[in-house]
Amino acid sequence: MDALLTPAFGTVVWATVAFLVVMFLLRKMAWGPILTALKEREESIAAALNEADKARSEMTALQADNDRLLQEARAERDAMLREAREMADKVVAEAKAKAKDEASREAENARQAIATERKAAVAELKAEVAKLSVTIAEKLIRTELSGEDKQQALVQKLIDESPLN
């Protein structure tokens, strides 16, 4: 049992020497290069991943930009359409109003013309009627006052009728 539990002198010496030699040897020719290589590779992988990430975000930004542009274009188109429609409506409305105005003015003119005509006609008719009635009256008078007695009777009558007293 002692053989198991007591460190043997020779073993300790060999182990110390071998371990030191191997550790320095490995540090120089293995651990150094391996760890450096690992680190470099990890860094390059990390850089590559970063780059990919950046590219992806750039892509997204680009996409968003495109979308925004498209949206803007669409909005602009809509605005233009609306404007055009409004303009057309306005034009039509204006034209309508103008036409209506014209029509009413025309009607007014016509009405005034008619009124003038009527006045003229009435005036003319009045004159005609007056002339006619004078003529009739003349004729009547001529017949009434054709004899002396008839003239006398009339004078009497007029005297009777006048309120001289």
Q: Is 47 in the site for another protein (CB under 8 A)?
A: no
CA gap 21, 136 in Å, rounded: 167
CB 151, CB 145: distance < 8 Å: yes
- Smallest distance, another protein to C-beta of residue 46, A: 13
Q: Is 34 in the site for another protein (CB under 8 A)?
A: yes
Q: Is 52 in the site for another protein (CB under 8 A)?
A: no
162 sits in which H/E element: none
Handedness of CA 89, 90, 91, 92 (dihedral sign): positive
Q: Is 13 in the site for another protein (CB under 8 A)?
A: yes
- Smallest distance, another protein to C-beta of residue 58, A: 25
Among 1, 158, 159, 164, binds another protein (CB under 8 A): 1
Q: Is 22 in the site for another protein (CB under 8 A)?
A: yes
User: Residue 144, Cβ neighbours under 10 Å: how many?
Assistant: 13
Q: Is 46 in the site for another protein (CB under 8 A)?
A: no
CA gap 73, 79 in Å, rounded: 10
Contact set with another protein (CB under 8 A):
1-16, 18-19, 21-23, 25-27, 29-35, 37-38, 40-41, 44
